[in-house]
A = this chain, B = another copy of it.
Amino acid sequence: MGNLRVTVWNEWRHERQDPAVAALYPDGIHGAIAGALREHSPDGVVVRCATLEEPEHGLTAELLDATDVLVWWGHLAHDEVSDEVAERVQEHVLRGMGFVSLHAAALSKPTRRLLGTGCTFLWREANDRELLWTIAPSHPIARGVSPVTVIPRHEMYGEPFDIPEPDEVVFISAFSGGEVFRSGCCYRRGAGRVFLFSPGHETDPIYTQPEIRLILANAVEWAAGDRLLRPPPSLQHAPSGWFEPGAAAG
């Protein structure tokens, strides 16, 4: 197989509005994520970035057609993403594109469309420490990951998390303030794979932390699946006996 083709989408707003965030992420949050993927790729990965304020938010049909996995980071401007692009992302996932939804992107239009629920939760910006527990140690996304990853300081996301029962839960987090959160959740939707991963608040340098960078790389590889973009599933007429040897093509 050729190189894995990843598109990292970022709102890219905090970094340009808030000097503290800019200092943590001089190349943008997307830049940090892209760096993590390149760092861990054994076989080569081609990472492109796209951001909110580009035409079509940078997510043209052409780009998505050539994307194996889309990584999404958004927080302030979910509503500014057009319904058309959100639908395009959803449709590509159903056709086989992977989708990794980071942090507040649980609330983004593409994530909510794919899961069907509101994906809300409790939150708090304080001085919580987050302990990210690996509850499915043999899952591909947990490869090489410690039983517990310590994030020294992070925004709290807490249950109840309004999501469908995940196909697999890989990580559950505990916060020093006492809350818990299903922080790494897998779903299959159509031919695509979806991973929700909650770490990544903009004012903490989460995506520079080595363990988190490894998880990002594992998640992207898992979400890629077989890297095939299939025709859109459709309502198809099937005449009697269409599958019999010798039947004319439907």
Count, chain A residues at interface, CB 8 A: 72
A35 within 8 A of B: no
> Which residues on the B side are within 8 Å of A239 (C-beta)?
124, 126
Contact B165 A174 (CB under 8 A): no
CA distance A173 to B188 in the complex (A): 22
**CB-based contact A174/B164 at 8 Å:** no
Kindly identify which residue among B94, B115, B187, B225 contacts A118, using a CB–CB cutoff of 8 Å: B94
Is A16 interfacial (CB 8 A cutoff)? no
Evaluate contact between B107 and A94: CB separation under 8 angstroms: no
Does A17 make an interface contact (CB < 8 A)? no
A113 CA / B112 CA spacing, docked (Å):
9
Whether the Cβ atoms of B94 and A162 lie closer than 8 Å is yes
Partner among B115, B126, B128, B182 whose Cβ is within 8 Å of the Cβ of A135: B182
Interface residues of A in 198-245 (CB under 8 A from B): 225-226, 228, 230, 232-241, 243, 245
List A residues 139-190 near B (Cβ within 8 Å): 140, 143, 147-148, 150, 156, 158-162, 164-165, 167-169, 172-180, 182, 187-190
**Contact pick for A238, options B124, B165, B182, B232, CB 8 Å:** B124
Q: Is A85 an interface residue (CB 8 A)?
A: no
- Which residues of B sit under 8 angstroms from A136, Cβ to Cβ? 160
A90 at the interface (CB under 8 A from B): yes
Can you spell out 10 A-B residue pairs with CB atoms less than 8 angstroms apart? A117-B189, A117-B233, A123-B237, A123-B238, A124-B238, A126-B240, A131-B180, A165-B188, A169-B169, A177-B241
**Smallest CB-CB A-B distances: 5 pairs:** A138-B191, A162-B233, A122-B238, A135-B159, A116-B116
In the complex, besides A133-B180, A172-B182, 13 extra interface pairs with C-beta distance below 8 angstroms are A94-B117, A96-B138, A117-B189, A123-B237, A134-B160, A135-B180, A135-B182, A137-B191, A147-B243, A158-B238, A174-B174, A174-B175, A179-B238
